[in-house]
């Protein structure tokens, strides 16, 4: 089992920044690719970003490319999502996830493990 705890969400003005964290415990963190997803009210869950086990490769949804950065610190068992130039349409519950396989754009189905989510609200 891998337990994931996301934090760092909050209320920010449009154009502002937030840094989300997702702390992992349980099995060996570096064995898992990590993902960030988001879900806004009334909308389907959306892939945001992914990072390989080593952290050397990343991939982003077009909607966040150039504004968001995913990174990981395997020594701290933590994955991050730095979000800059936030827009009202970025408002959602952000969820981190872990999977033994790396799929850059994720695709369909559920990752092996989900975190509980952290709320991001962007005021215009």
State the pLDDT at residue 75: 96
Please identify every stretch of the chain with a pLDDT value under 50, giving residue numbers as ranges. none
State the pLDDT at residue 52: 98
Q: How far apart are CA 46 and CA 71, in angstroms?
A: 19
State the pLDDT at residue 26: 86
State the pLDDT at residue 1: 86
Could you report the per-residue pLDDT of 7-35, keeping only the tens digit for each?
999 999 999 999 999 999 988 999 999 99
State the pLDDT at residue 35: 98
Q: How far apart are CA 80 and CA 88, in angstroms?
A: 21
State the pLDDT at residue 108: 83
């Amino acid at each position: 089992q891998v337990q994931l705890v996301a934090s760092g969400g909050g209320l920010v003005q449009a154009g502002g920044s937030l840094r989300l964290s997702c702390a992992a415990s349980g099995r060996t963190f570096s064995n898992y690719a990590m993902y960030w997803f988001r879900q806004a009210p009334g909308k389907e869950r959306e892939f945001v970003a992914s990072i390989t086990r080593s952290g050397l490769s990343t991939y982003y949804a077009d909607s966040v490319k150039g504004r968001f950065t995913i990174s990981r610190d395997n020594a701290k068992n933590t994955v991050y999502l730095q979000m800059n130039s936030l827009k009202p349409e970025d408002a959602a519950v952000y969820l981190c996830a872990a999977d033994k396989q790396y799929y850059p754009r994720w695709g369909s189905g559920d990752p092996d493990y989900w975190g509980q989510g952290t709320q991001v609200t962007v005021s215009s």
